Structure 1
Amino acid sequence: MGVLAIQKIGVLTSGGDAPGMNAAIRAVVRTAIYHGLEVVGIRRGYAGLLDGDFRPMPIESVGDIIQRGGTCLFTARCKEFMTEEGQRRGYERLVEAGIEGLVVLGGDGSFRGAKRLSELGIPTVGVPCTIDNDIGACDANIGFDTAVQTVIQAIDKIRDTATSHERTYVIEVMGRHAGHIALAAGLAGGAESVLIPEVPFNLEDVVAKLQRGVARGKKHSIIVVAEGAARAVDVGHYIEEKTGFDTRVTVLGHVQRGGAPTASDRVLASRLGAFAVELLLKGETAVMAATQNGALVAVPFDEVFAAVRQPAQELCELAEILSN
């Protein structure tokens, strides 16, 4: 496709925040300005779109944000935008503002809203941003690497005190429907067991593994639990009841969403943010900017929605082997 004569684009962040969103916003703004475009930031996601919460984004507006977690455009969830009336009003807001293309940073729900705006007539490109890493059809999601690093830092610190006190620690991480954080962090952190929603587990097996470890002289253990698999407090109570081991529970919660993005997330966000602008200029719409095998690709939203990212069986098996 040839380059379109777009003059103004919008950018918004929607759904849960993820480290690297600011790096992606920076890339969108700087790439757009490089190509002679005007950029409008839409604050607070689709809620801000309906409210007309727009602001111009000159190049200086994205200075000194590449290293910051969260999103400078703020984010929110918007039930009203899920309705036909809300979507049409969002489209009208964009037309009134002269916005001819939209970059949406977020996950599955955010992309579904973007697809609807595309159907109404506004070209849209999505950029995958979620710490859960559950958006398929791409190598990785912006924010996942940083979240895993945050969990690893916590596991390393907890292991120090677990060793000192000869305790078992159960650590709950984010992942209501996806266990990618738990699996990666559990494997990298040397956890004795990793419990994720995608793989059936039996707490009796977890207890048996702990008891085998104690029998051979092991002084402490780490269990990593994805929040969608079980409540860490319940797992901890079960272990203590069945074994009598001194057991503690740590729920990491939203600390996993914050913090400065890793170099990997900053590079990925910069590549995808810039590529999203280039896709709009080429006339693409209803697609996600992504990497596949390291190469930049445009993936139609329908393919993204159909793709389910499952934990790699190889990693599940490796975590089990190395934890024995």
Structure 2
Amino acid sequence: MWGASPDNRGPYPLHHRRRYVMPGKLPTITIGGDLAVTAIGYGAMQLTGPQVWGPYPDHEGGLRLLRSLMDEGVTFIDTADVYGPHTNELLIREALHPYPEDLVIATKGGFVRGGHDYSTRGSVGNPKYLRQALMTSLRRLGLDRVQLYYLHSGYAVDAPFEDQVGELKAMQDEGYIQHIGLSNVTVEQYEIARGIADIAAVTALYNVGNRSGRALLAAAERDGAVFSPWHPVSLRDGGENAGRVAATLAPIAAAHGATPQQVALAWLLHRSPVMLPIPGSTSLAHVRENMAAASIALSPEEVAAITALADDAAE
């Protein structure tokens, strides 16, 4: 079954449309047709050391924050083996294992680190390495199967992209992966991957000021794949346009008794039914603010004003 998009940009599979529930409860979105999660998740990358290197300095505080997430309505946590590296996955296991039945954890493999500086990361696509990455992530997380596993980069040149996706598909067929996702890929790579495996989710840069991922979002909408935008609450990604972004969001935020960052999140949910933002935070108060953004009902005029801040023509 198919339904029209909110702004008539095309049809969407109804099982991927955002589902709004009773007042006071959070909207949900479904990954891969069978994993229903809250429409705003939690990106755990900040629960590491400086430059995403080493363990999170406030270990007990990190445990408390993770253990509080589901009380705030969060049912989706995003991590990666390169966060730490490895320390982020271990912290999640320590805090939450055995996991609540309705919690979905996504992790990623394919990036490596060359040192403390996060810019030293690089991509490895060797299928044997990808298999090792998944198996060690499963061990660190205490899982037999990961619900959503991303190829973390399409930039690797040490193996054909088709072989990388093919290895993920093989591990899915073996029961180690429930759904496959893609991060840091082009639209062309996404289309190649779809010819090899079902792709349930993609990630790319997309927010109020920067729509770099607009073409990948359009492809995800066409196919019903979930789209997780990078930097979902950033007001600075507009570059020289950042002042205009802030000036546009300020009165809208004031009208809703919200912060501009909450409005930025609310706009993403209004913008597409396949959107699954995963803002990160080290503060429980900030997590609560983020989750509250799901209840902000923007008017069509407010949505249009925010949409006009950056180029969405390709959508």
TM-score, normalized by length of structure 1? 0.31
Structure showing greater Rg: 1
* Higher helix proportion (structure 1 or 2): 1
Higher RCO (CA < 8 A, seq sep 6+): 1
